[in-house]
Amino acid sequence: MQTTGALLIPPALNLMPVHSCTGSLIRPVSASFLRRPEAIPSKQPSYSSSPLQVARQGFQTSVVSQDIDIAAKFIGTGAATVGVAGSGAGIGTVFGSLIISYARNPSLKQQLFSYAILGFSLHEDIGLFCLMVTFLILFAM
């Protein structure tokens, strides 16, 4: 008597092959739950053969997904703005140290001032970079 593995496994326990379920494992959980229901066929003519229509359908997102994207944009903007405040504190420290150093040794005025300008420019560059990233997050994405 010859038996095969297919006969020994009841139909309820018959597992799908690995290659057919990997797509659902790779997708995020939110994509699985927020999937739109399949469209009900209507009597209107279908224009799905147009490449523009196919491309446009790929970019549609749900309202929940759009709200999450907007919230993430504002959170990222706030995080990038913190660097501008740190830059302002650094510039204040540089010039405060310049005044203290000049009060201690007035003969090194020119050398101390050149070091202060170098520190100011480095701090200012970091602040402007953070501001640029903030505007990119707000207006370019």
| Helix, strand, coil distribution of the chain in percent, nearest 5 | 75, 0, 25
Q: For the chain, which domains are there?
A: 82-141 (1.20.20.10)
Q: Which two tokens stand for residue 84?
A: 């501008």
Phi and psi, residue 74, nearest 5°: -70, -35
pTM: 0.50
Q: In this predicted model, what pLDDT tens digit does every residue of 86-126 receive, in sequence order? A: 999 999 999 999 999 999 999 999 999 999 999 999 999 99
HEC assignment per residue over 102-141: HHHCHHHHHHHHHHHHHHHHHHHHHHHHHHHHHHHHHHCC
- 50 three-class SS: coil
